[in-house]
Amino acid sequence: MVAERSQLDQVNVLASAASWAWPEALRRLFQPRGVNLMVADDANDFVNVIGRTRIHATIVDMESERSNGLATIKIIRMQYPLVPCILLTNRVDRDVLGQALQLDVFGVVDKPVDMQNLQRLLNRLFLKRYNSPIFEQ
């Protein structure tokens, strides 16, 4: 795993803040891999953090308490079109999937989040984008 980390340097993933156990679940997935979890409250936080720090992926909650996830991704895309985004949602339907496709979202994850499915999606993202198996099971 040292080789993968040095290939990517420091790995940072930026996720939506949540009042539920979401950040803690992500930490349990990320810490053993040396991945830094950063948390954003709203669209402005996402843009500010991405502007200051190399972010390898974002995980945006569509039903965040502070902002709409699709609107957040639109704002991210305006300034940082190449940052990979994953969307979490309570409602996976044609409308949401169509909007996610238009915004070039890497993947849509149904809530409650199955952490193994999320790990597989992150593995595909990091293999495709960074040629790194850091999330391999």
Which domains are delineated in the chain? 2-130 (3.40.50.2300)
Radius of gyration of the chain (CA): 14
* CA 79/CA 4 separation, integer angstroms: 28
Question: Residue 21 — very low, low, confident or very high, per pLDDT cuts 50/70/90?
Answer: confident
Q: Is the pTM of this model over 0.95?
A: no
Start-to-end Cα distance in the chain: 12
110, 89 contact by CB (below 8 A): yes
pLDDT of 40 higher than 70? yes
39, 17 contact by CB (below 8 A): yes
Question: Residue 3 — very low, low, confident or very high, per pLDDT cuts 50/70/90?
Answer: very low
Question: Residue 4 — very low, low, confident or very high, per pLDDT cuts 50/70/90?
Answer: very low
User: What residues contact 21, with CB distance under 8 A and at least 6 apart?
Assistant: none
Predicted confidence (pLDDT) per residue in 115-131, tens digit? 999 999 999 999 999 99
